[in-house]
Structure 1
Amino acid sequence: MKGLLVSSLEEYSGKSALIIAVGLILRERGFKIGYFKPFGVGITRIENHLVDEDAYNTALVLDTGDSIEDVCPIVIDRPYMDFVRAADPLELKKKVIDSYKRISEDKDVVFVESAVEYKVGKALGLCDSAVSSMLDLDLLIVVKYTNDFILDKILAARELLGERLKFIIFNQLSGYKEGYVTFINERFLKRNGLELLGSLPFSPLLAGLSVREIVDALSGEWLIKGKPGEEEVIIEELLIGAMSPPSALKYFRRVRKAALITGGDRADLQNLALETGTIKCLLLTGNLEPTGTILGKAEEKGVPVILVADDTLTTLGKVDEVFGKARIRGEVKIRKMKELVERFVDLKRLIDYLNLDTAFLQK
């Protein structure tokens, strides 16, 4: 069995998504996959247990069969400083080692996910440098190319993590950034002993939110749920409805799978949106319910209508805050992530590194 620590330079870089995609691909080829997260900070309560939400969902998708207490043995269940003050680093270390040992039993490979980013956990002795040494793991860092200074962050991570940092995968590449990857690889990664495993392009679908996730983020009220399954439709773009119908029509025609945020009293824009076919959800603000005619047309066309108490700008801010931080949930997103990984990641090199039987590659 071999493990690999999957980390990142910053939060919301796509660690869980990559692990899910690679894990499912390898599982389909016959390998036994394990998943482990030494400690988690995104706490939620499931069946009267406090768990790390990402760890719980990732283990569920990968169907590892391990207990959540072993998958993520340490959860930060209070303010971080309070947890640090009360913690015994030696006890935490033992807990991590024991859980990892149980997770590793009968597995071909275990993917270990860091919490937040590679430096987090230093005060507890659980940062990536410590965990990689503790469990004898090399690292793969998922790099979200937010700006050109990301190059300096990669080199700083290499200096801190040393030779245990082996692999880089760029994620959410778009525009001019794609052209820089070859230069970065040749000039900096290779010269610093780092191997580029792949570059994943930006996907509006993966960055988008389901209608249900938007409703949860806004504490909205369903007025129309649309056709069965429409609440899981992925919204890729947002539009503000504050203009005249002729002006709005130009924007409606340019988008695909968009949500319209507008006042509940703007029946003109609501009606136009329902006619275009590109607006997949109406977010009506100000706690103003639309007319019965609008609700009837929305139900007929299967377009969800959500009532929101906040004003339009506040609503936009709340939705915009969670866009780009969307989790990989649901079959549509998982399938898309797998497609991208199979196309843009050197899976053969990864399988060779993990010492997995390459005969499975022919399956």
Structure 2
Amino acid sequence: MNLLIGSTTACSGKSAVTLGLGLHLEADGLQVSYAKPLGNHALDVGGRLLDEDCATMGKYLRTGMPVGAPLVFLDRASVRRRLSGEDNDDYLVRLRDYAPATGQLHLIEGAGTPQEGAMFGLTLQVLAEQLPARVLLVCRYQEDLVIDQLLILRSQLGNRLLGVVLNDVPADQIEDLTAVLVPFLERQGIAVLATLPADTALQSVSVAELASALDADVLCCRDQLDLMVESVHIGAMSVNAAIKYFRTAANKAVITGGDRTDIQLAALETSTTCLILTGHLAAAQPVLARAEQLEVPVLSVHHDTLGTTEIVDRLFGQVRFREAVKVQRIQQLLAQHFDFERLRALLGLNS
């Protein structure tokens, strides 16, 4: 049985849901495999070119079957080869033998949107028809108009649409969605298998990712780079105002000028995961001493505060899913909110 997991928009939480499903179904005794026909960026893993998500799935899933390598990557070089005519492969032919012949359930992860892969002939609809596969859609809830996307995809996919996961729903809107939106979708023939609440842990990034994206110098606590940052605060105000501001959030990174020793020390007295000092100025010794004591990494960057904030914002907008803490969290969320019995029944796995 092939289950194709797609998403209505990029960064909808598709990879997290895919891995969470795989781990839960493995624990139930199913033999699960994973593949991703359309990769994002190629990684050399043991001599095989894999997508980053493929490498993550191979790390956590306990299946003895190899992870399916992408047929093609959607990076700029691959796209240019296709546009220039250098790549004229018929990917539909290659797709015929793509799904593994063994195993009980094959999780096949689609691209970021239903349309991606069209130039290679591999849209979500084509994948569903040609593999063939049932489709589970992951939809990041932003407003009620996301229903339009789901209705269009239902008309395109027909009976191949298994159901939908509504993801990243604000906690104060879950009751309303459950009472109004979910019943509407069900009446339209779209099974809602989960309504997952927004979760800061899943949207967090590690200090190591921040350091890499910013090309930062790590001034202290290099052994704490696996700490997770859930939000970012800018320190560009008076100390009294800063203390009140910093107390509003936990597990945060604070971006401030390298010469603002007062702000840096104030941030360290609240729940701060790392300090990011801009302007590539030397950190004051009292700041480094206090950060060492509290085991808070301090990063120094060449960018100014505005440039640093823009880079960090982009990083949070494309959060990857690889850390063990995130894997544990998605398992917890699915165990609480996902209807696995209904999934198994829809897939015919209860017999």
TM-score bracket for this pair, using the shorter chain length? over 0.9
- In the superposition, relative to structure 1, how do residues 60 and 280 fare at CA in structure 2: closer, same or farther (>3 Å)? same
TM-score normalised over the length of structure 2: 0.93
Alignment partner, residue 268 of structure 2 = 274
SS of equivalent residue, structure 1 residue 21: helix
Alignment partner, residue 231 of structure 2 = 237
1:328 aligns with 2:321: yes
TM-score normalised over the length of structure 1: 0.90
Aligned CA RMSD, in angstroms, stands at 1.9
Residue identity in the other structure for 1:264: G
Residue identity in the other structure for 1:232: D
Q: Distance in 2 between matches of 1:151 and 1:176?
A: 19
- In the superposition, relative to structure 1, how do residues 247 and 144 fare at CA in structure 2: closer, same or farther (>3 Å)? same
CA drift of 1:149 comes to 2.0
Deviations 1:193-252 (A, max 9, x none): 2111010000011111111111111111111125x4x21111111110101111111012
SS of equivalent residue, structure 2 residue 269: helix
Alignment partner, residue 61 of structure 2 = 62
CA drift of 1:46 comes to 4.0
The answer on whether the counterparts of 1:142 and 1:171 sit within 8 Å (CA) in structure 2 is yes
- In the superposition, relative to structure 1, how do residues 142 and 241 fare at CA in structure 2: closer, same or farther (>3 Å)? same
- In the superposition, relative to structure 1, how do residues 324 and 205 fare at CA in structure 2: closer, same or farther (>3 Å)? farther
User: Aligned match of 2:257 in 238, 241, 263?
Assistant: 263
The answer on whether the counterparts of 1:207 and 1:236 sit within 8 Å (CA) in structure 2 is yes
CA drift of 1:61 comes to 1.9
Alignment partner, residue 354 of structure 1 = 347
Residue identity in the other structure for 2:349: L
The answer on whether the counterparts of 2:257 and 2:278 sit within 8 Å (CA) in structure 1 is yes
User: Aligned match of 1:341 in 334, 340, 346?
Assistant: 334
Alignment partner, residue 289 of structure 1 = 282
The answer on whether the counterparts of 1:209 and 1:326 sit within 8 Å (CA) in structure 2 is yes
CA drift of 1:41 comes to 2.5
1:172 aligns with 2:171: no
Residue identity in the other structure for 2:2: G
The answer on whether the counterparts of 1:242 and 1:262 sit within 8 Å (CA) in structure 2 is yes
Residue identity in the other structure for 1:71: A
SS of equivalent residue, structure 1 residue 207: coil
CA drift of 1:11 comes to 0.5
Alignment partner, residue 79 of structure 2 = 80
Instruction: Judging by fraction of residues, say which structure has more helix.
Output: 1
Q: How many pairs does the alignment contain?
A: 348
The answer on whether the counterparts of 2:144 and 2:181 sit within 8 Å (CA) in structure 1 is no
Alignment partner, residue 30 of structure 2 = 31
CA drift of 1:325 comes to 2.3
Alignment partner, residue 199 of structure 2 = 203
Q: Distance in 2 between matches of 1:175 and 1:26?
A: 27
Residue identity in the other structure for 1:322: L
Alignment partner, residue 309 of structure 2 = 316
The answer on whether the counterparts of 1:104 and 1:110 sit within 8 Å (CA) in structure 2 is no
Alignment partner, residue 5 of structure 1 = 4
Q: Distance in 1 between matches of 2:254 and 2:278?
A: 10
SS of equivalent residue, structure 2 residue 201: helix
SS of equivalent residue, structure 2 residue 225: helix
Once the two structures are aligned, what percentage of the paired residues are identical?
A: 32
Give matches, 1:122-271, under 5 Å. 122-175=118-171, 177-178=173-174, 179-187=176-184, 189-225=185-221, 228=223, 230-271=224-265
Q: Distance in 1 between matches of 2:347 and 2:101?
A: 14
